[in-house]
Structure 1
Amino acid sequence: MDIKSELLGKIKDKSAVVGIVGLGYVGLPLAVEFANAGYKTIGFDVQTKKVNAVNAGHNYIGDIVDDTLKKMVESGKLSATSDFSFIKDVDAVAICVPTPLDKYQQPDISYVKGSTESVAKYVHPGMVIILESTTYPGTTEELLKPILESSGLKCGKDFYLAFSPERVDPGNKQYKTKNTPKVVGGVGKDSTEVAAALYRSVLAGGVFEVSSPAVAEMEKLLENTYRNINIGLANEMAIICHRMGINVWEVIEAAKTKPYGFQAFYPGPGLGGHCIPLDPFYLTWKAREFNYHTRLIETSGEINTGMPEYVVQRVMSVLNKKKKALNGSKVLVLGVAYKADIDDYRESPALNVIDLFKQQGAQTTYYDPYIPEYRYKGETCVGAKELTDEMLKEADIVVICTAHSCFDYNRIQKLSQAVFDTRNAMKDVKDRSNIELL
């Protein structure tokens, strides 16, 4: 029996052992799904805190049902380690490590490179390796393939290699890892077939096969660049509408009534999360290699990254109408998570907004029930333990940066001197005498 048939057989009867490199927002939910589908699954992370938590059955990711994680660990289907030699015992491995930008806004693929080099030390015939980390087109074939083949094994003959972009949307009530469609592009048809078969055996959202890893890599960038550009348009519309005395939120609601040709995107204090603010820069960086300047992408990036400053300017204007300066005023920021009802503050624009308020001399505090403290620019910021009546009354202005559903917006409006709502979170509040919208 050839290695492809043997591996497909292991996938079919769930006897394959699956490894997940990186136990963050992407890796841990994926590991739980593989284990829940019947595969023996081993997770790896360099952070011993995460490894110990998984092995104890303790969940630290909001989208995972705690009981499911505990059940998988207790059944022996799921375990975690910080020893990379576990790779020698697995048949399939998914690399789910971060791909941030460096200080020059260029791709930092050191985590992907380091993980691949570690896998290469233990790679063996009959394996499939799948990269899920978002990256620039060409990474799988130009970076991973040579590193893995340095072991002496050949891709497509001794092992299989593919790219399948993660599509995790923290806090999404409808689409989770289990039911979100997967895109898979392998190095050759055999790699695509094996990787697709693995995902089909676990996920319920379907698998769409493409002709190469580069297509799958570019597809992911298109998804998030599409959102980046359209949010940039919504933010620019918000600025224009404010100057014209038009409610941009009402404009968007009206446009949404068109049953074709329009998808609603909303303005806000800036972009947050690990994908939308970062991924387009992977494309602009790679495009330079082909002597192309991505004007539309970079323009939307300028608009979106400028929104925190715009929020501060608007708050200054609101305070100015009350004959108050921002310097010395008490500013209360509600919500620092990058989106509603989650505990993730990666790249959250609220952090920049708070920092800018402090730079202007404002006495700034924040409250977020999901995030009691956060680190930004090397410093730890601690929020209020609860949202008291006194805090609302004493603040010269309350700035809503995240529209958590647990906030009592009627209470906030009633007790606050002034509210600047960057998310239209208070749309159902009837008394709008002290509310100003982005």
Structure 2
Amino acid sequence: MPASMSDSSVQLSTVAVVGLGKIGLPLAVQYARKGYQVIGCDVNEQVVQNLNQGKTHIQEEGELALEIPCLVQQGYLSATTQTTDAVRRANVVVVIVPVLIDAAHTVDFQHIDAATMAIGAGLQSGTLVIYETTLPVGTTSSRLRSLLERTSGLYADQDFYLAYSPERVSSGTVFRDLSQYPKVISGIGRCSTARAAAFYRSVLEAEIITMASTDEAEFVKLIETTYRDVNIALANEFARYADSHGLNVRSAIAAANTQPYSHIHTPGVGVGGHCIPVYPYFLFANPFDEQEDIQEDDMLTLPRKARRINDSMAEYAVQRIERVVGSLSCQSVLILGVAYRGDVRETAFTSARLLQQALLRHGASVYVDDPYFSIGELQAQGYTPLPSGYEHMIDVIILQCNHRAFQNFDFCCASACKVILDGRQALCRKSIEALGIHYITIGDGEYKCSGRIHA
């Protein structure tokens, strides 16, 4: 074992951050402002060019626009498309390349495999490699370790360090979350764990939590996100029960949550984002071969059921609307918000897509409005933007995402609108009903109590 491999106090100077997305770029800035020379690596030439000019392509993190120009000018931060060359110069490599699922819910390792092979080609003895990408259990210790060792000719925890630490931050609040949330880490051996802990203590003020293995650290992130998905599914089941029994789920959940052991989430028209609707499927995946799923029919039944429930809420929302207005065939429906959550410019696995599909199946004409996207961007994503001056032709409005801008939406212009479904329980019911528009939300109990209204 090289001398450096037994010394977790070795001074580090250069960090390569592989992947400059919504999490990777803030991480690069965090490390740079802690005094490291950071090389950001990305396959997108425009992202690299912008960063080297002191510009950011991430708008949700206000600190980036302030920090990046200074860090670039001072030489603490630069970017390149040449990952292998950057890794050759780095003491630490942090990987935050996305792993997603395809339409069949199969885990797609393509991008992280490519990044890993590029890292392995430049990997030097004594370098620390940390994966922060959310991964199926066993991926770091098996698939990625094997790729690194094969491409570098080096051995993990003997020639180089290998660790896993799941990112636990949210888009728009990355720097706040980095300072507040404990950092979960583990290496594939004692030396790797010690080295990773030393690095994170040098760049974060947060508590460090060390797990027994990288498999266990990967499991932590999947537990976190799957818990939320299952909890939301439970809330949605409660909402549907409330509708069928003439009850108000919102007030019932609020009362139930006054008991300190009850933490029921809020029901709605679906679950979107990079994490919650994706990572439960990682629990079912085999990291050795992305084409082969591990079938464990007697395990993880709740996560599987939760995914089906949450994805079914769009169809349920459309049925709720038809309960009030009758058939949606040939009626015009406006979806407010295509982003997956309020005040972010991101559409990953958005519920707007499922709502659009459900509405089209029921024969409706579907329009969208979202202040975070241009008309061209909405069209490129397969949506029909609301034409200017067409508000008075809309029959139904669905609030899909709670952008603050929608709090000031002029519903007076929707003079033909018969019903608004508040999919996020965010609008003022009294204000809407004062306009003569029928207000409904998931779990308000009106599915049983109210009859249809007519134009």
Note whether the superposition's TM-score is higher than 0.5. Answer: yes
1:208: how far off?
A: 0.8
Deviates more, 1:232-241 or 1:355-364: 355-364
Which residue identity lines up with residue 437 of structure 1 in the other structure?
T
Q: Give 1:361's match in structure 2, choosing from 353, 360, 363.
A: 363
Q: Does 1:304 align with 2:310?
A: yes
SS of match in other structure, 2:177: coil
Deviates more, 1:27-36 or 1:356-365: 356-365
Deviates more, 1:284-293 or 1:342-351: 284-293
Shift in CA distance, 194/289, structure 1 to aligned 2, threshold 3 Å: farther
Q: Does 1:348 align with 2:350?
A: yes
Structure 2's unaligned 5+ residue stretches are 287-292, 443-455
Shift in CA distance, 279/219, structure 1 to aligned 2, threshold 3 Å: same
Size of the aligned set, in residue pairs, is 426
**Is the 1:333–1:399 Cα contact (8 Å) retained in structure 2?**
yes
Which residue identity lines up with residue 394 of structure 1 in the other structure?
M
1:172: how far off?
A: 4.2
Give the structure 1 partner of residue 79 of structure 2: 80
How far, CA to CA, are the matches of 1:255 and 1:393 in structure 2? 41
Shift in CA distance, 128/374, structure 1 to aligned 2, threshold 3 Å: farther
1:374: how far off?
A: 8.0
1:341-420 equivalences in 2 (<5 Å): 341-372=343-374, 379-381=381-383, 383-384=385-386, 390-408=389-407, 411-412=410-411, 415=414, 417=417, 418-420=419-421
Instruction: Provide TM-score, normalisation by structure 1.
Output: 0.90
**Is the 2:328–2:364 Cα contact (8 Å) retained in structure 1?**
yes
Give the structure 2 partner of residue 318 of structure 1: 324
How far, CA to CA, are the matches of 1:427 and 1:80 in structure 2? 46
1:145: how far off?
A: 1.5
Give the structure 2 partner of residue 8 of structure 1: 9
1:21: how far off?
A: 0.8
**Is the 2:393–2:414 Cα contact (8 Å) retained in structure 1?**
no
1:204: how far off?
A: 2.2
Q: Does 1:434 align with 2:434?
A: no
Give the structure 1 partner of residue 337 of structure 2: 335
Deviation track 1:49-99 (CA, whole Å, cap 9, x = no partner) reads 221222222222212421112222222211111112211111101111111
The structure showing larger relative contact order (alpha-carbon pairs under 8 Å, at least 6 residues apart) is: 2
SS of match in other structure, 1:381: coil
Which residue identity lines up with residue 371 of structure 2 in the other structure?
P
How far, CA to CA, are the matches of 1:110 and 1:222 in structure 2? 24
Shift in CA distance, 265/173, structure 1 to aligned 2, threshold 3 Å: farther
**Is the 1:315–1:420 Cα contact (8 Å) retained in structure 2?**
yes
Q: Which runs of 4+ in 1 moved over 6 A?
A: 374-378
1:291: how far off?
A: 7.0
Shift in CA distance, 285/378, structure 1 to aligned 2, threshold 3 Å: farther
**Is the 1:374–1:380 Cα contact (8 Å) retained in structure 2?**
no
**Is the 1:33–1:178 Cα contact (8 Å) retained in structure 2?**
no
Deviation track 1:360-388 (CA, whole Å, cap 9, x = no partner) reads 33222111111235879985435348xx7
1:275: how far off?
A: 0.8
Shift in CA distance, 138/6, structure 1 to aligned 2, threshold 3 Å: same
Deviates more, 1:165-174 or 1:112-121: 165-174
Give the structure 2 partner of residue 192 of structure 1: 193
Shift in CA distance, 243/297, structure 1 to aligned 2, threshold 3 Å: same
SS of match in other structure, 2:232: helix
How far, CA to CA, are the matches of 2:364 and 2:119 in structure 1? 50
SS of match in other structure, 2:29: helix
RMSD (CA atoms):
2.4
How far, CA to CA, are the matches of 1:111 and 1:431 in structure 2? 47
Which residue identity lines up with residue 315 of structure 2 in the other structure?
E
Deviation track 1:19-64 (CA, whole Å, cap 9, x = no partner) reads 1111112211111111111111011111112212222222222124
Deviates more, 1:369-378 or 1:30-39: 369-378
Which residue identity lines up with residue 199 of structure 1 in the other structure?
Y
Shift in CA distance, 262/37, structure 1 to aligned 2, threshold 3 Å: same
1:406: how far off?
A: 2.0
Give the structure 2 partner of residue 170 of structure 1: 171
SS of match in other structure, 2:356: helix
Deviation track 1:316-366 (CA, whole Å, cap 9, x = no partner) reads 22222xxxx312111111111111111111000112212332343322211
1:420: how far off?
A: 0.8
Which residue identity lines up with residue 29 of structure 1 in the other structure?
P
Deviates more, 1:202-211 or 1:161-170: 202-211
Shift in CA distance, 166/108, structure 1 to aligned 2, threshold 3 Å: same
How far, CA to CA, are the matches of 1:171 and 1:317 in structure 2? 37
Which residue identity lines up with residue 355 of structure 1 in the other structure?
Q
Deviation track 1:280-332 (CA, whole Å, cap 9, x = no partner) reads 11102348366753211111111011111112222222222xxxx31211111
Shift in CA distance, 379/423, structure 1 to aligned 2, threshold 3 Å: closer
**Is the 1:32–1:78 Cα contact (8 Å) retained in structure 2?**
yes
Give the structure 1 partner of residue 147 of structure 2: 147
How far, CA to CA, are the matches of 2:237 and 2:159 in structure 1? 52
Q: Does 1:295 align with 2:301?
A: yes
1:177: how far off?
A: 3.1
Give the structure 2 partner of residue 125 of structure 1: 125
How far, CA to CA, are the matches of 2:376 and 2:363 in structure 1? 20
